């Protein structure tokens, strides 16, 4: 048997394991169920990839995001290791081919989404495979007490039945003690060995700053430090606007959100990873599983919904071990906004019952029926039809999803079905006369086999990616081809679908979940309160606050977070005097406004403004007609 160290050195070119990695790998090779709780950048993937390479057979990896799976598969293949990911947008024939390759093609890794595990064809294939290890990435997603709970993760335990003698390794970077305990139960782990590295990231400076101009503060930070950065904003619209304003200041930035076509997402991600652009402005969906070790700055311009999500996002900075900064920018309005978004819009038990009744009426589901029926769903149209509050409705749908009453799916994008009705020669003749028919039609023929024989499910985003046309243009072409009776078409133009998982019984359907709904709402309130406590606590080291949340006690203060910096020069008389002297020295040269002063001082904005007020009160400085400070001494 090849040793783990030899595998590491041969394929990853690292000289040695980190101490905890080595212990985890030893446990896996002994056949023990294992839990690896390592911070972001702690090398979790090595913990299952290396032992899987040591043992005969294939490793099944369950992962929540396509981007995460694709990134890891590409990384393995560049090292000469055979790996594949089965994602959405493929036909039944392609799925069969890929599963056969996994069975007989000497592959070492098969990445699957939890949704794929629910397919009988996939389950049958896994039973036949020589599986050496089952790895559950982002394992905290299986716990209802975690911020990233995904109901589809509850089905992962089927792997224990399909391969009862294969060890399972569960990996996560953000889990409280409560989430960890629940994860072990839900995955049915047998006497697992739990390995937990310190969550301390001594190379990251955690800064929290109150500011009225977030774009200016971000620009100030990034303009003088043109290194890799992620800027998190609240919405798609803000991502585009914030990016434009950074670009106007000479910063090489691009935006990234769910509204971009897959090809555009990949292009922007690759440009950023290759340092062709320095800054990605994104919604919080960006970053999970993205391997870019040299991120120097992570800036949050909105308050996160939980400490768990913030710690994971901030932890994307400095994964190479070098100094990095995680900065939260907020104003008083943000504190009210986070309460409004995540607490005030929590649906009550009565809200959930009303929403369920409205949903079943909307899809005309009869009482006692509807189980496993799938419906194309347009959220905006649904809310507009019944004049519903969008946030309250969205949270209510997610609650119904978590409880297993419905499945709200956006995993595989638009699922349309079509079948060509004419012969291939007739179709090619039509292609000659209509160039747009040719582009769309030939793209579909290349991707999907058997489309002349029966209806095939097609992914419009995949067709868009392969053809280079926008999805709306493809839809127009397909409708025109249908009108010419070239095909049958069942078109789903929405990005989501809803599947009812239980028969409609109104009161009886939801009454058993009353206590659970109340508990989920209380948990969310606690998470938001913890975020507000984090930004408002200016007496305890920020790094220590984060560690305490995850049940870990810091050995000492970090020395470089915003609280520690304020202690060193902001709150003492000596610190104020020093800052006063620096301000007076600058104003002795020439009058300056507050922004110019901030650019020339390495002090927090709040401290500079406070000192300016003190100097004004003492009449040591004054303001001129154009709001510049000048020295009166």
Classify residue 384 as exposed, middle or buried by CB count within 10 Å of its CB (0-12, 13-18, 19+). Answer: exposed
Please tell me the pTM assigned to this model: 0.70
Q: Which residue has the tokens 């619209």?
A: 237
Q: Please compute the mean of the pLDDT values over residues 411-426 and round it to a whole number.
A: 74
With CA atoms as reference, report the closest residue to 37 among 138, 167, 186.
138
Look up residue 123 and give its two tokens. 């389950």
Mean pLDDT taken over the chain: 87
Alpha-carbon distance of 489 to 512, in angstroms, equals 41
Over the stretch 443-494, which tens digit does the pLDDT of each residue have? 998 887 678 877 777 877 778 878 888 877 888 899 899 999 899 887 765 5
pLDDT at 90: 67
pLDDT at 91: 67
Helix, strand, or coil (residue 511) = helix
Q: Please compute the mean of the pLDDT values over residues 562-591 and round it to a whole number.
A: 77
Look up residue 195 and give its two tokens. 């390995």
pLDDT at 411: 43
Radius of gyration of the chain (CA): 27
Helix, strand, or coil (residue 560) = coil
Residue 232: pLDDT band with limits 50, 70, 90: very high
Contacts of 115 (CB under 8 A, 6+ apart): 152, 409, 411, 412
Strand order in the sheet with 168-172: 83-86, 109-112, 58-62, 131-136, 168-172, 34-37, 193-196
CB-based burial, 338-361: b 16+ in 10 Å, e otherwise: bbebbeebbbebebbbebbebbbe
Q: Rounded to 10 degrees, what is the CA torsion of 467, 473, 474, 476?
A: -160
Other beta carbons within 10 Å of 282: 25
Q: Are 34 and 136 in contact (CB under 8 A)?
A: no
Question: Higher confidence at residue 544 or residue 418?
Answer: 544
Three-class HEC string of 77-137: HHCCCCEEEECCCCCHHHHHHHHHHHHHCCCCEEEECCCHHHCHHHHHHHHHCCEEEEEEC
Q: Are 567 and 559 in contact (CB under 8 A)?
A: no
- H or E segment at 457? strand 456-459
Question: Higher confidence at residue 335 or residue 149?
Answer: 335
Lowest mean pLDDT among 210-224, 406-420, 601-615: 406-420
Q: Please compute the mean of the pLDDT values over residues 180-190 and round it to a whole number.
A: 91
Alpha-carbon distance of 385 to 362, in angstroms, equals 9
Q: Which residue has the tokens 């002994």?
A: 30
Question: 298 pairs with which residues across the strands?
Answer: 230, 326
Question: Higher confidence at residue 35 or residue 65?
Answer: 35
Over the stretch 329-345, which tens digit does the pLDDT of each residue have? 999 999 999 998 889 88
Over pLDDT 70: what percentage of the chain? 93
Helix, strand, or coil (residue 429) = helix
Q: Are 282 and 256 in contact (CB under 8 A)?
A: yes
Helix, strand, or coil (residue 515) = helix
Residue 224: pLDDT band with limits 50, 70, 90: confident
The single-letter DSSP state of residue 625 is T
Q: Please compute the mean of the pLDDT values over residues 423-433 and round it to a whole number.
A: 89
Over the stretch 346-369, which tens digit does the pLDDT of each residue have? 999 999 999 999 999 999 999 999
Alpha helices in 224-256 (DSSP H): 236-248
Per-residue pLDDT for 553 more than 80? yes
């Amino acid at each position: 048997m090849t040793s783990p160290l030899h595998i590491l050195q041969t394929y990853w070119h690292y000289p040695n394991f980190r101490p905890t990695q080595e212990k985890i790998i030893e446990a896996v090779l002994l056949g023990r169920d294992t839990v690896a709780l390592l911070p972001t950048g702690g090398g979790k993937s090595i913990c299952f990839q290396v032992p899987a390479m040591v043992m005969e057979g294939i490793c099944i990896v369950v992962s929540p995001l396509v981007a995460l799976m694709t990134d890891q598969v590409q990384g393995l293949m560049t090292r000469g290791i055979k790996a594949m990911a089965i994602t959405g947008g493929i036909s039944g024939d392609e799925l069969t081919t890929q599963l056969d390759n996994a069975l007989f093609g000497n592959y070492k890794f098969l990445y699957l989404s939890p949704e794929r595990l629910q397919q009988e064809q996939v389950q049958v294939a896994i039973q036949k495979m020589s599986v050496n290890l089952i790895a559950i990435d982002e394992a905290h997603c299986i716990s209802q007490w975690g911020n990233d709970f995904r109901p589809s993760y509850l089905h992962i335990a089927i792997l224990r039945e399909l391969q009862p003698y294969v060890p399972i390794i569960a990996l996560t970077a953000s889990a409280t003690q409560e989430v960890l305990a629940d994860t072990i139960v839900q995955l049915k782990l047998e006497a697992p060995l739990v390995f937990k590295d310190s969550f301390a990231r001594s190379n990251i400076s955690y800064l929290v700053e109150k500011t009225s101009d977030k774009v200016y503060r971000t620009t100030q930070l990034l303009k003088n430090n043109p290194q890799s950065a992620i800027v998190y904003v609240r919405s798609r619209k803000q991502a585009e606007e914030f990016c434009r304003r950074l670009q106007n200041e000479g910063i090489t930035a691009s935006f990234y959100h769910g509204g971009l076509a897959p090809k555009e997402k990949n292009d922007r991600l690759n440009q950023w990873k290759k340092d062709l652009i320095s800054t990605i402005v994104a919604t919080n969906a960006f970053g999970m599983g993205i391997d870019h070790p040299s991120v120097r700055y992570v800036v949050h311009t909105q308050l996160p919904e939980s400490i768990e999500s913030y710690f994971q996002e901030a932890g994307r900075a400095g994964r190479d071990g070098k100094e990095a900064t995680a900065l939260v920018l907020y104003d008083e309005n943000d504190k009210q906004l986070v309460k409004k978004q995540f607490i005030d819009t929590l649906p009550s038990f009565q809200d959930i019952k009303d929403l369920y009744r409205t949903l079943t009426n909307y899809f005309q589901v009869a009482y006692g029926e509807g189980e496993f029926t799938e419906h194309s769903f347009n959220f905006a149209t649904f809310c507009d039809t019944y004049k519903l509050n969008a946030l309250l409705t969205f949270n209510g749908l997610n609650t119904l999803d978590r409880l297993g009453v419905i499945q709200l799916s956006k995993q595989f994008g638009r699922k349309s079905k079509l079948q060509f009705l004419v012969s291939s020669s007739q179709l090619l003749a039509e292609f000659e006369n209509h160039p747009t028919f040719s582009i769309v039609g030939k793209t579909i023929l290349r991707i999907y086999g058997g489309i002349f024989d029966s209806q095939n499910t097609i992914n419009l985003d995949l067709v868009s990616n392969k053809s280079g046309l926008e999805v709306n243009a493809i839809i127009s072409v397909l409708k025109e081809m249908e009108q010419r009776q070239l095909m049958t078409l069942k078109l789903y133009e929405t990005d989501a679908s809803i599947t009812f998982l239980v028969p409609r019984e109104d009161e009886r359907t939801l009454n058993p979940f009353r206590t659970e709904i109340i508990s989920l709402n209380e948990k969310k309130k606690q998470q938001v309160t913890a975020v507000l406590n984090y930004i408002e606590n200016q007496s305890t080291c920020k790094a220590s606050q984060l560690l305490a949340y995850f049940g870990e006690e810091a050995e000492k203060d970090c020395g470089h977070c915003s609280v520690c910096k304020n202690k060193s020069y902001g709150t003492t008389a000596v610190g104020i005097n020093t800052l006063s002297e620096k301000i007076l020295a600058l104003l002795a040269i020439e009058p300056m406004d507050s922004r110019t002063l901030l650019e020339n001082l390495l002090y927090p904005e709040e401290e500079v403004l406070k000192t300016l007020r003190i100097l004004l009160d003492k009449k040591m400085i004054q303001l001129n007609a154009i709001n510049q400070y000048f020295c009166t001494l």
